[in-house]
Amino acid sequence: MPNDQTWTTTWTTRIPPSYTAPFGCAELHAVAFRPNDDRGGQRHSVIVNIPETPDDAIRHAFAMTNRLRARMVFLCNTRRQARQVAERATKQLPEHSRIAIERAIADMWGPLT
């Protein structure tokens, strides 16, 4: 699927409260992208906290993700932040596709395992 078709308003972004509640976090949203050639296994990952990360650091994270062909996960406080960063990432990661957060959890990659 071409990258420009990977963003939709129907993505689930909320990490299950069973994962976050033990850490005192009532709500946390995540948006995950993987390189189009990702077939599982170990791989570099770049994790960005939204809104805490400054914009210049986010630009650097995009560049690093593209250079390393890494997985990328954004952790957000709200669904709105997740939607906005997904739109931006879809444009900035031309060789990546968005992956459902449930899939990332099931595949046991990134900070969600």
pLDDT digits (tens, 9 = 90+) for 61-92: 999 999 999 999 999 999 999 999 999 999 99
Three-class SS state of 24: coil
Residue 1, in any domain of the structure: no
Residue 85, in any domain of the structure: yes
The residue ranges of DSSP E strands in the chain, in sequence order, are: 29-35, 45-50, 71-76, 96-99
Residue 54, in any domain of the structure: yes
Q: Identify whether the C-beta of residue 93 lies closer than 8 Å to the C-beta of residue 26.
A: no
Residue 16, in any domain of the structure: no
- The total number of structural domains in the chain stands at 1
User: What range defines the domain where residue 73 resides?
Assistant: 29-112
| pLDDT band per the 50, 70, 90 thresholds, residue 29 | very high
Paired tokens of 83 = 């939607």
Residue 60, in any domain of the structure: yes
Q: What does each C-alpha distance from 44 to 33, 65, 106, 111 come to in angstroms?
A: 12, 8, 18, 12
- Going by their DSSP bridges, the two strands 71-76 and 45-50 should be labelled as parallel
Give pLDDT, residue 9.
55
> pTM for the whole thing?
0.83
